[in-house]
Amino acid sequence: MGAVAGVIIVIFIIRMLSGSIKVPPIALAFGAKLGIFIFTIAMVQATTPEVASAVLHMVVFVLIWVPIPLLQSIVVPLRMPRAAYWTVRICWPLGLTKEIEASAVVYGALALARTSPSEAAISWLERKLRNAEPIQGAGVVAAGLLAEPVVGLVVPEPIVAALTFFTPVGERDLLAHALDKLIDRALADPRRSGWRVQVVRVHAELEHGASWLMEATLKDPSATRERIAAPLKTQLERSPPAGAVERFVVEFTAFAPGTTELQLFARDAAAAARTGRRRALQSAAREIALRIRRPMLYHIIEVQPWSRLPERRYALIDFEP
């Protein structure tokens, strides 16, 4: 009888390996676990005393039938991503059979998240994830856990004042005078209200297509023309433009909060913060489009908001940063 059963099992395995019998992965996993369990129990009972045998029974039972609580409460908190990955692959939880490779990467990434992640560990998990096909469910979660978060840069909106000369100007006195006027104009911009200037950039378009640039960072942010202009005039004296200037542009690119009294009058502080966040969102969206190479961000737009059919009221459109 045993020999007949053995022959039947061998034939079954051969047909399964050749593809003529399709066995669902979960059934295969269950069968393998049952076989290992029976074999291990037989070995334990044959060789060890009662107490140790009971403990080993418990360990074997947990590893084979309920490995997920073990993963969550012991393996993942150990903060060892490779150990977590291989524990899933070896223990082969029945609930994760469908996406076993991607699920193993998920647990590895969860273990990684509890420690300061190393590039080597992230690269190792990403290589394992590439073997997991198709990418769905656990694969998407794993890819999300491993991906570097995209953080948009909060860039303050610059304030620009520009002047185009009727005839190109080469005299430094005239350029210094124009600098003063442009700084006054930029300081008078309502968006500057409540803020002091920290970084100022001066850009000139010269004759014959050349250009000239200088930038100054103020040690003490200021909102007075003389203190902003002083370092710029010094640089203008030291390294003046190489030709006559056709267009002169002054740009305030970085700001610092004003004093308490000035901040009370910072009508645009909240608007400036919102604008900064909007620019950060746009830069993050651009970066996501570059990384993933297909649009994954959408706007919700109104199509027929008055329609009596709910599915015609709104639609999704690609988000264009």
Partner 1 sequence: MVPTPRAAVRADRLRTLNVPELVAVELGADGRPAAVRRSAGQSVSDSTVEAILENWRIDDEWWRQPIARRYYEVMLNGGAHVVLFEDLAAGGWFVQKP
Q: Which residues bind partner 1 (CB under 8 A)?
A: 294-298, 300-301, 303, 308-311, 313-318, 320
Instruction: Mention every residue, 6+ apart, whose C-beta is less than 8 A from residue 197.
Output: 187, 218, 221, 222, 223, 228, 252, 254, 255, 256
- Could you tell me the smallest distance in angstroms from the CB atom of residue 134 to partner 1? 12
Nearest-Å Rg of the Cα atoms of the chain is 34
Evaluate whether 315 touches 307 at the Cβ level (below 8 Å).
no
What the block records as the tokens of 273 is 């913060």
Evaluate whether 9 touches 41 at the Cβ level (below 8 Å).
no
- Could you tell me the smallest distance in angstroms from the CB atom of residue 297 to partner 1? 7
Pick the closer one to partner 1 by CB: 39 or 314: 314
Pick the closer one to partner 1 by CB: 61 or 298: 298
- Could you tell me the smallest distance in angstroms from the CB atom of residue 149 to partner 1? 17
Pick the closer one to partner 1 by CB: 19 or 310: 310
DSSP state of 73: I
- Could you tell me the smallest distance in angstroms from the CB atom of residue 142 to partner 1? 17
- Could you tell me the smallest distance in angstroms from the CB atom of residue 301 to partner 1? 8
Pick the closer one to partner 1 by CB: 79 or 98: 98
